Structure 1
Amino acid sequence: MTDNDVTTRDLTAQPAVTDERAEWLESLAKHRHFLRFTTRDLTDEQAGLRTTASELCLGGLIKHVTSAERLWVDFILNGPSALPDFTAMTESDWARRADDFRLLPGETLAGVLAAYEEVARRTDEVIATLPDLGRSWPLPKAPWFEADAQWSARRVLMHIAAETAQHAGHADIIREALDGAKSMG
């Protein structure tokens, strides 16, 4: 299956919507495509390599985006209990979260891409069917969140799209440093 087949299947599998939800689906599909595209034709070993001063690798970026998207969609559906209490996290909690940024022994690029596709499908379904994108929940306590802030489903989707786009850019740099391949240009 080629990357174009994945993109076509993803777009045709999405529920038919015509309002702002269609724009969210289109934006996320575009950013997800660029992120996945950086992994084309790589081995599992290559997907786990660090190619810059950063701790990031391509497989780890896919895992991180998958995990973050899953958590944020859980937040849309279930509120702040879906996210950890960041102020109460221990060193070992942070170490486990750091594993989201690495391709661990036994993990494969195909496996993390399949998990990402499954999470994306779920997110797309929530976007298409959630009765109210304005529904808001209070954010959990964290040093990087404003105290007493609330985010609507719409704001969470903006965050997911921005994070996916940002990490696609990181992935492009990592891939170019790996073998010279670029997503664009």
Structure 2
Amino acid sequence: MTTPGSVTGERADLIAALGQARHFLRVPTQGLTDEQARQRTTVSELCLGGLIKHVTEMERSWTEFIRSGPSAMPDFDAMAEDDYAEFANGFRLLDGETLDGVLKEYAEVAQRTDDLIATLPDLGVDHPLPKAPWFEPGARWSARRVLAQIIAETAQHAGHADILRESLDGTKSMG
């Protein structure tokens, strides 16, 4: 288990940047009921609980990509309509799911990611990206590039979370 001060240099910087983005993603969920976390507050399909679920799955998938390569990711070109419906459920807090439950799972995935960053023998190890309409064909990403993607996506979704929370009850994460 990674502990503060046990990692230095580039790896410590990556863990710190990701930790900060995670913090700003979680802040807008503070004090919410499950029903509030499930509520859509904009024209988007997103809700706060679903956003946490999505980022959890995104981080889990990308770190598995670092370990195993493109086989860890879905083949988006081969997805059937039912697969897309299930994929869409990853953006919703479904009946029977709780905000506490998805936050706990997010914390577990985050710890595994931090441990991977701390222990991966080489941040330069790379794999070909899976087939998807949004990836350049034939491109390869290093672990370092994947971690930058996780940080960027988490930070982007933290901004979405701010908007969703402010639309819900006027609470602002900052200010």
CA RMSD across the alignment: 1.3
Q: Distance in 2 between matches of 1:115 and 1:147?
A: 32
Q: 1:32 — aligned with what?
A: 22
Verify: 1:161 aligned to 2:140, yes or no: no
Residue 42 (structure 2) aligned to one of 28, 42, 52? 52
**Which residue identity does 2:110 align to in structure 1?**
A
Verify: 1:62 aligned to 2:52, yes or no: yes
Partner-residue secondary structure (3-state), 2:90: helix
Task: Measure how far apart 1:16 and its partner are.
Answer: 1.0
Q: 2:12 — aligned with what?
A: 22
Q: Conserved in 2, the CA contact under 8 Å of 1:79 and 1:138?
A: yes
Task: Measure how far apart 1:13 and its partner are.
Answer: 3.5
Task: Measure how far apart 1:15 and its partner are.
Answer: 6.4
The number of residue pairs the alignment matches comes to 175
Residue 81 (structure 2) aligned to one of 87, 91, 106? 91
Deviations, residues 135-158 of structure 1 (Å, cap 9, x unaligned): 000011111100100000000001
Verify: 1:133 aligned to 2:112, yes or no: no
Partner-residue secondary structure (3-state), 2:96: coil
Which consecutive aligned stretches of 4+ in structure 1 deviate over 3 angstroms post-superposition?
12-15
Q: Distance in 1 between matches of 2:31 and 2:55?
A: 20
Q: Distance in 2 between matches of 1:14 and 1:55?
A: 37
Q: Conserved in 2, the CA contact under 8 Å of 1:138 and 1:149?
A: yes
Task: Measure how far apart 1:110 and its partner are.
Answer: 0.2
Ranges in structure 2 where 5+ consecutive residues have no aligned partner: none
Q: Conserved in 2, the CA contact under 8 Å of 1:15 and 1:128?
A: no
Q: 1:103 — aligned with what?
A: 93
TM-score of the superposition, structure 1-length normalised?
0.92
Task: Measure how far apart 1:14 and its partner are.
Answer: 4.6
Deviations, residues 93-123 of structure 1 (Å, cap 9, x unaligned): 1110100100001000000000000000000
**Which residue identity does 2:55 align to in structure 1?**
V
Q: Distance in 1 between matches of 2:138 and 2:31?
A: 45
